[in-house]
Each structure stands twice: as structure tokens, then as C-alpha cells.
Structure 1
Amino acid sequence: MESLHTTDVIVIGSGISGLMTAISLYPRKVTLISKKKLGEASSSAWAQGGIAAAIGNDDSPKIHFEDTIKASSGLSDEKIVKIITDEAASIIKFLEEKGVDFDKDHLKNFLMSQEAAHTRRRVLKVNGDSSGKEIIKTLINNIQKLENITILEDVTIDEIITENNNVIGLIGRHIGKNIVDNFTFFKAPNVVLATGGLGSIYEHTTNPRDIYGEGIAMAARAGAILSDMEFVQFHPTGMDIGLDPTPLLTEALRGDGAKLVDENDNQFMKLVHPSGDLAPRDIVARELQKLKDLGHSTFLDCRKFSEKQLQTLFPSAYNFLKKANIDFTKEKIPVTPVAHYHMGGVLVDENGKSSINGLWACGEVSSTGAHGANRLASNSLLEAFVFGKRIANSINSQVLNNIKDENINFKKYLPKERTSSRIRAKKYIWQLRNIMSDLVGVYRNEQKLKKAFIEIDRIEREAKDLSAKLKDMILVSRLITYSAYLRKESRGAHFRSDYPKSDNKFLFRKKITIIEMQDFLNKREYIEKVA
């Protein structure tokens, strides 16, 4: 059974970027699509870090700008960095007006944390390390009061429909345990991708399991230009206790005195970087991975905190540790690098517009140029808010074109029947996640990347009729591997052990399309040359 839904703007995703965009689109007729219940299927709700904003007396947008540029390893777009750092204060004001209750002291001054590679305390929090959860809750409360927004939950999107490089709509399905695939055609001249990142294509990730790059896959198949796909940020302090997803121990713990140590209590980061435990994330993650590869164990030492202190300052971390039965006042916490954030995605301009007319993207699915090769901690929420608002302002300034139903044969876009074996799909999803972690993870080289191509080919061949999720994961994995293969240098979060130094020949953001990648794969040179 099929149905048709018509609207002015479709927003796909119910994390911070999607909610911010939807709120800011008033009075446009908006359809907000969420794969699960509102706010559940997003990394935003799990965000323990807060929002970076230069509002302290010793801080300024200029200093914030300089810190961001320095952390980006030369690849950030200075115009975009200036936009987000200049607009940060107005975003904080907007959120307070919407009811976000930032942590403050008894004099009503903002309580701010310092995180890695920031030279000032400028990270605003909400209820300690529960910032994402609290902000999401407040935004949802606001959205539910707006009559211009139609909320559709338990809906997944299969395809972006375009004609002559113009968006005309989407094909989606209502999903649920007792629902047979029920396709809906969504007709709209503007679609905003706010689907989040891709962490779950890796074996160890802090992202929810439903975050596997589906927005990037949809945009790529529609012909959108992508950028910076090779830059996957690994957070150094995931709790190494065998859970999937991996619980995150926020960087702010180290900002407040927790220490990284090995099994002999050596504070190894002191010998690696002048900033020690608060060195840029890529450097810390690589050092942890190197030690683990050499047979060492790595820990976060939180024994300086009393139980009351940790519960008050870091309630999310406290609850994780309690559930894991770890007494942090007496024992060290095992940690490991985990896939956390993707700097790349759908290439957009300063207003969030992609290379396809009517297709916009914000949040982690997008590549704005704000983060370059290595994201500065807590700039991601700031970027999501800034670009959600900028997209809405751009759409609201337009006269929206009506799309006539008679010009569209939606049924020709219906997806083909896919495999009904969920167990079979899960088997290959797990294999793919393992391959990406082993071969396209913290350390990469040519032989690993070639082997990754071969193994991804094998999975596609053996899996035969692909589930929608596995199909998307294979495409996104190939896009990352292809971009990593092309960048024959080490820069930011992308490290090639066969090219360990940065090379100015690669001092540019690599833009790719699915057609370009497919041409490379068709040559199959990675098979001919691999040992």
C-alpha cells in the first residue's frame, strides 16, 4: 500500500541539528521524520560534552577561531570557522530563550569546562555531562507546541528522489514489529538531511547502533558531492568493558584532573605532547592504540574524585561506572579508542546547501569545513545549531516552488525487494564493522586499505540480496576507504603509517562522488597489485 504526503520542507532526523532546523523554519509547513521515537535515534542525546562558545571574560570569538583552526590540521574553511565562532553567543541566547538551563554558579555565571585543544574554559554544559539529553528534551518540548510541524515517528527513508539535479521528494517506509512495509511518497521541494554520523560501521563506537551513515549513502546515490570522508575521529576514552555501543567517558573528566595511565600507572601522554592528557584527540587516540597494539593496557584514573563529586559533576559517567560495577574511587577504568565523530559528509556551502538543488544538510551528516581534519571538542553541537538556523533562514527567504503531482511517477522509484533474513544481514554487518576497525581505523596503510576493498567486495558478493542497512553500510565503508586510499599523507584524524608525515601536496579538502569512486572500483587495481 502506498500513500502520498505533501509538505514545504522535510527534515530527516531528530537530533539537535534536525530539531533546531525544524524549530527555526516557522511558519513553513514542515514534516519532521524520525526513525524512532523523537530524539531516540541520535548521537545528540548521548552527547556528554556541551557547546563551545567564547563568552567568558578571558575569551573571545577570535581566540575560539584560532583554537579551531589550529586543531583542524590546516583543512578547515576559515570563513565557516568564523561564522560558527562569531554566532556562538547568539546561539546560547537563543537556547536560553527556548528554555535550556545551562549550568551556572550561585552568582548566575556560566560554569564552563575546558576540553582538549581549547586554550580557555568555554564549554557550556547542562546538568554536567548530560548536555545532549537535556537540550534534546527542551527542543522537543518546543517543537510539540508548533502547529506548523508534523512529526512522523518510526519512519525510515529509502531514497532521495531528484530530477535534473532538483529534489522532488523521498520514498520512506513506516516500520515496526507488526507493520508490513508501507511505502509513503513524500513530496517536497526542500529536504534537510540531519541523520547524524556513521560510527556504527566500526566495531567500537560511542554512537547508537542506528547511526551508520544512511544520510550520506542516500545523498551519494542521489549524486551529491561529498567531502572529507577519510576523516573519522576516534575518541580515546571509551569504556573498554565489552558493550556495544561503547560508553563514553567525557574529555571533561581529564579537564578536571582525571589521568590517562598504563598498567604501571605511567602517565604516558606527558612524554608525547606538551598538553599531555589534553592533547588533540587524534594524538591521544593514536598513542592509546599504539600501546594496546604493543600489549599494554590503558586506563583512565579517576581515583581523585569522591563518589559525590563524580555523581554531581559527571552524572552520565557515574551511572555508566555504577552499572559496570567499577569502583572508580579504588580502581582504574579500562579505556580504548572508539569511533566517535565524522568530520566528512555531504558537502555544503555556508548556508547548508548541497550540490543538489533543494537538498540541505546539517550536523554530522554534513561537511561544512568547520572541523577540517580534526574536530575541536564541543564544536560539533555549535556547528549543528548554527547551520540548522542558517538553513532555515535560507529556506524561509525563498518563494517555495510547488511540485505538481502529475509530473511525478513516484512508483517507478520503489526499492526492489530485499533479503528477509535479518540474521544473515547481521552476520555480514558484524564482519564489515570488524573489517573497518582493523583496516580503516586509527592506523591505516596501503596494504590495509587494499585488503579492505577486497573484503568489502567479498561481503557484498556473499550477502547477495542486501538489506537496506547493509547496502548503506557497504557504500559508506567504501567511500571512507577510497578517500583514505587517495590521501597519501597523515593529517589530523587520518593517519597513514606508510606516509606518517603531512604533505602540502594534500593541503586541500578532497571532494568525491559515487561515480568517481565506482570508476576506481571498476578498474580493480587494488586486486591486481595487492600481495
Structure 2
Amino acid sequence: MFRGRGARTIEKDCVLIIGSGIAACTAALQLAKDKRVLLITKGELTDNNTIRAQGGIAAVVDQRDSWELHVQDTIKAGYNLNNEEAVELLVKKGSSYIQKLAQEGFPFDYDANQVLSLGKEGAHSRRRILHAGGDATGKAIITFLHQQISTAIEIITNRTVIELIMEGNRCIGVQVIDEEGVVSNLYADSVVLATGGCGALFDVTSNHPAMLGEGIGLAYQAGAILTDLEFIQFHPTLLWKDNQSFGLISEAVRGEGARLVTGNGDFIMENVHPLLDLAPRDVVARTIQTVRNKGTAVYLDISQIKDFRMRFPSITTLCEEANVNISKGLLPVSPGVHFAMGGVQTDKYGRTSVAGLYAVGEVACTGAHGANRLASNSLLEGLVYGQQVARHISKLPNKQQNNRKVDETSSRDLHCSKISLPEQAEIKKIMTEYAGIQRDYQGLQVAKNWLENFCVHKPIASVPSTQKALFNQLTASWLLVTSALARNESRGSHYRMDFPENRESWENKHIERYKEIDWQQAITGGEL
């Protein structure tokens, strides 16, 4: 771990990767064969969403399944807003990478006949979900990857990236701040954003508390194009007790036969969708929320699942911590923010619209997920597109960086006055109340006006270093809200109560965000 304070040369072939989840680590391991890799994370290595992924990885490994079916399921769940080329790449390459993982000794779950155990989740037409440790797949994967990167690459922990350093239209490095407020500049040939999602901008989420959308703010301030930011997936089933969330209850539980019920035993998904409790996540989440809005609690009835404690050990522990008695067979649930389909626009190699800047994982938008991610495609995406980014960067010639060094304490801070910003808790409250699972013009406009009280159009270079992280979170929140305002329809995970139907005029239409365009419209009073 690099924790030193002295000026330090970053070699000419260095690649900086920001993040520590499956996408970041996959890219890092592949790149380490040809480049010097520096991985930066604002907390510890385990502070990511991958470690919380219970459900598993979706992949075609069964002869009764096919990549065509997996593609069809993904696009159907994504409400046909997917980039079909991106989906095909995800599915086709995914199967071979999963097989490679198994050959390398990754501990997938097998049945009594030593055949890969395959689960089924919402909107999948086949059983194709691979697990490890029952409901601890993400933890198993990240442990597996971290063991490998610990000896292959250099790791910097407890440093928050607060700004991307630009030279003309090219990203040449990052500015970071440590826990004591010391600022440093690190330079590299290529910078890879793998910062994860934005769930922690909301009060109720399955995400790690560090997932505050800062990657979105960083890329936007650097001039990158972002797209589909209005599509935020709400997971239907977070364990809910005493008006607070205790964590995720995997969709795999419903895949094994659990049903959503009221306290009276009424099945809430009856007559709502042909797939009942395994309908697409947006449908299930909104149905649960509608019932709860009427003052009726919703439960997951697990009484039909044999050996629940053995099959779902992590969820069992979660219930015990929340004082929920599993033996009664009813787990209280509520929807919560889970995954961002939109993000920094990339091609199939993770290239953004900014030279030298790449994005991968949840912070990126390849178009693979459309308007609503298919269950268990997220870990697959990190695995596949992490490889894609690495293979592209590995082939790039090394560029001279003129022996730049890590510079302690940015001189720009000497001229920056502290600006007015809200508390993080205030942002979460606004986002939860007005940009949640059910949106409308009036509420979104309230959120927009509130966010714009805090100079969201201010250049990041003029913000004091100690405030830049929060400013990036504010920027991400504003981008999500204004994108939701711009899509006057309901599609997938984006639901507008004032526009409750899909609109033909919005078919195949994406909302792209770009700083220069947004700021020009703000100055002229145009609509974003």
C-alpha cells in the first residue's frame, strides 16, 4: 500500500484505475501483464458493491440454454433500449470467462452430482445463475480477485479522487485527497473510472455507503458524455425492520419459490405480470411500493424453501442481526436503490468521449442494460468489460509524461474560497423524496431547484479541494434529477406518475448529457 507523502515519479507506462470492485480488479489483473498498474480506492479494498452481490452471475453454461435466449431476456428486461451489440458481447464472452474462472479454481457451487448448480431469477427464461457460497457470490469473487492483485499491482487506499487532470481534451491524471486533507496529483497514460454506482445518494439502498456517484461528477466535469442517467433500478426486496433497511434479500430467494405477500397472505403479484414474483425488477418494486403506500406491509414468504439457512447463509445472518425470526417464514421487505443503468458513455472497449479516459462497471454505460438491468448481469458486465478495457489499453504504445511527479498540495487551493454546499444527509433526503421509485414533474422540479441553489454550474477547479468530493456528489444528483425531468414517459426503471406509459416518440431515444451543452442551456434559460 502506498501511504507516503514525498514527491514520487509515476512511470510513463502507468495506468491508473479508480475503484476496487470486480470491474476494476479484472482490468487491473489483465493490464498488469503489460503495464504498470496503480489502483486507487477512497476506502479499503473491500469498500465496493461487488462484495455485497448475493444473487450470482448469469451465464450460458447449460446445453438447454443458448446465448440467443440470454440476449433476448436481457433486451426484453431492458425495454428494448439496449445496445444489441453490447448485449451480445456481454453474453457471448461471458460464458467463456465463467468457464475460465472455474478452471482457475473459483469455488462455484455444485450439486450432489458435481454439476454446476444453476439458479433462476426474475425475467430469465432459463436457469443460468451461478453462485458461490450460496448467497455470497460477490464476496467470493472479490476475495478471489483481491488475492491475485495484491502481488500483481500497486494499491493506494484511503485516497479520494476529487478531480480529473486535463491537458487540452485529454485526461492525463487525477487529483486525490487523503483523510488528513493532503492533496496530490498523480499522472498516467490512461485513467480508468471503475467507481461504481450512486445508490448511497438515496436513504434506502443495497449499495455500499461509499457509492455516491462521484465518478459521474468527475467524468462530467472533465467534459465526458453521459447517457441514460434517469434509469436507476430499485431492488424489490431489502430487509425492512423498524423503519430501516438492513440489507439485500437476493432475487434468488424468489427464484427458489418465495412469494411476496401481505400480512393476510394475499399474493401481491397475482394479476400483475405473467411471471408473477419473478417479473422484471421495476414491475415488482413498483407493485411493492404501491401496496406499502396504502399502509400495508409486504413480506417475502419463504416457508416453501427447504433448508433456507443452508441455501442462504448470508441472508440468514442478516435476518438474525435485524431480529427477524426466519422460522415464522415471513421476511418484511421494501424496495431500495440498487443499480444505475446509465453512466459515462463508452464503446465496447470502455473508451469515453475524453481521450485517455475509460470507464467500466456500474459507472459506465455501454448500453448493455437498457432501461432496466436483467438480474445477475452486473457481475458478468464487470468481468467481461473489465477484460475489454484491459485488452485495448494493453495494445497502446507508452507515452512520455515528461517525468511528472506526484505534487503535494495543489496551488490552486490558495485562490479558492469555501462555497456553500448542503450536507450529504440533505442530498439523500431530497433524492429519496423526489427522485425515487415514483417520480413526477412537480417533485423533480423541487429537487432541481433545491440542487441549483448550490452553484452546480461552478467549474470544479474553483472549488476548494476539501469540498470537491461533495461537489461531485451534488453534480451527480443534479444530473440524475434533470435527466429524469427530461424523459417525459415511463420506461423500465424510470417511472413518471404524470407520464405512466411508454411513448412511441421515445423509442430508441437516449438522453445524453454534456457539460458544455448543459451550461450553455442554463445560461440561456433553455430546457435541459
TM-score (norm 1): 0.91
- Which whole-Å CA distance do the structure 2 matches of 1:277 and 1:476 have between them? 32
Matched, 1:56 2:62: yes
Match of 1:367 in 2: 365
Task: Give the deviation of 1:408 after TM superposition.
Answer: 11
Question: 1:34 maps to what in 2?
Answer: 41
Instruction: Provide closer, same or farther for how the CA distance between residues 415 and 197 of structure 1 changes in structure 2, counting only shifts above 3 A.
Output: farther
Partner in structure 2 of residue 189 of structure 1: 189
Matches within 5 A, 1:13-412: 13-25=19-31, 26-38=33-45, 40-146=46-152, 149-175=153-179, 180-241=180-241, 246-305=246-305, 309-330=307-328, 332-405=330-403, 411=410
Does the aligned pair in 2 maintain the 1:6–1:186 contact within 8 Å?
A: yes
Provide the aligned length of Structure 1 versus Structure 2: 512
CA distance in 1, matches of 2:435, 2:415: 30
SS in 2 for 1:6: coil
The 1:407–1:235 alpha-carbon spacing in structure 2 relative to 1, beyond 3 Å, is closer
CA offsets 1:188-238 (integer angstroms, 9 cap, x no match):
010011110000111111111110111111111011000110000000101
CA 1:244–1:200 in structure 2 vs 1: closer, same or farther (change >3 Å)? Answer: farther
Q: Is residue 171–residue 414 contact of structure 1 (8 Å, CA) maintained in 2?
A: no
Structure 1 unaligned spans of 5+? 527-531
Q: Does 1:451 align with 2:452?
A: no
Give the secondary-structure state (helix, strand or coil) at the position aligned to 2:334.
strand
Amino acid across the alignment from 1:79 = E
**Deviation of residue 2 (structure 1)?**
6.7
* Identity level (%): 36
Shift of 1:265: 1.3
The one-letter code of the counterpart of 1:209 is P
Secondary structure of 1:247 counterpart: strand
Is contact 1:261–1:268 with CA below 8 Å preserved after alignment?
yes
Deviations 1:428-470 (A, max 9, x none): 2222111111111111111111111122234669xx9883343
Matched with 2:510 is 509
AA of the residue aligned to 1:32: L
Change in Cα spacing, 1:243 to 1:98, as seen in structure 2 (3 Å) is farther
Distance (whole Å) between structure 1 residues aligned to residue 442 and residue 112 of structure 2: 57
Aligned-partner Cα distance in 1 for 2:6–2:343: 31
Q: Answer whether contact 1:237 1:336 (CA < 8 A) is retained.
A: yes
1:11 matched residue in structure 2: 17
Match of 1:529 in 2: none
In structure 1, what is the Cα distance between the partners aligned to 2:169 and 2:455? 29
C-alpha distance in 2 between matches for 1:328 and 1:387? 38
Contact 1:198 1:342 in 2 (8 A): yes
Tell me if structure 1 keeps the 8 A contact 2:58–2:376: yes
**Contact 2:9/2:404 (<8 A) preserved:** no
1:378: how far off?
A: 0.5
- Structure 1 residue 98: Cα displacement: 3.7
Q: 1:260 to 1:5 in 2, by over 3 A?
A: farther
Local SS of the residue matching 1:475: helix
| CA distance in structure 1 between the aligned counterparts of 2:414 and 2:199, rounded to whole angstroms | 25
SS in structure 2 at match of 1:441: coil
Matches of 1:291 and 1:243, distance apart in 2: 16
Q: TM-score, normalised by structure 2?
A: 0.92
User: What's the offset of the Cα at 1:484?
Assistant: 0.8
CA distance in 2, matches of 1:415, 1:480: 32
- d(CA) in 1 for partners of 2:182, 2:77: 46
**CA–CA distance in structure 1, aligned partners of residues 481 and 215 of structure 2:** 18
* Cα separation, 2, equivalents of 1:343 and 1:263: 33
Deviates more, 1:263-272 or 1:295-304: 295-304
In the alignment, residue 137 of structure 1 is paired with which amino acid? T
Query: Mean alpha-carbon deviation: is it higher for 451-460 or for 395-404?
Result: 451-460
C-alpha distance in structure 1 between counterparts of 2:57 and 2:414, whole Å: 39
Name the aligned partner's letter for residue 319 of structure 1.
Answer: T
CA RMSD of aligned residues (A): 2.5
Say whether the 8 Å CA contact 1:2–1:184 is kept in structure 2. no
Shift of 1:335: 0.9
| Structure-1 separation of matches of 2:394 and 2:522 | 41
Q: Deviations over 1:90-143 (max 9, x none)?
A: 111232244311101232211011000000000100111100001100111111
Structure 2 SS opposite 1:27: coil
Aligned to 2:257, the other structure's residue is in SS state coil
Q: CA deviation at 1:512?
A: 0.9
Distance in 2 between the 1:467 and 1:407 partners? Answer: 24
